[in-house]
Amino acid sequence: MFSPNLLPALLGLASAVSWGAGDFCGGLASKRASAYGVVITSQAVGAAILGALAILFGERLPPVNDLIWGALAGAMGAIGLLALYRGLASGRMGVVAPVSGVVGAAIPVLAGAIFQGLPAALKLVGFGAALAGVWFISRPAEAGAFRAADLGSGLTAGVGFGLFFVLIDQGNDSAVFWPLLAARAASLTLMGGMARFKGEPLVPARSLWPLTALAGALDAGGNAFFVLAARAGRLDVASVLSSLYPASTVLLAWLVLKERLNRWQTVGVLAALAAIVMITV
DSSP string of 194-243, one letter each residue: HHHHHT--SS--GGGHHHHHHHHHHHHHHHHHHHHHHHHS-HHHHHHHHT
Question: Would you state the pLDDT for residue 32?
Answer: 86
Global confidence as pTM: 0.86
pLDDT tens digit string along 260-277?
Answer: 777 887 788 788 889 888
Q: Which domain holds residue 238?
A: 6-280
Residue 150 pLDDT > 70? no
* 59 lies in some domain: yes
Does the residue 1 lie in any domain? Answer: no
Of the candidates 152, 189, 159, which has an alpha carbon nearest to the alpha carbon of residue 74?
Answer: 189
Asked whether the predicted pLDDT for residue 94 surpasses 70, the reply is: no
The band of 154, judged by pLDDT with boundaries at 50, 70 and 90, is confident
Give pLDDT, residue 168.
93
| pLDDT at residue 166 tops 60 | yes
Number of domains in the chain: 1
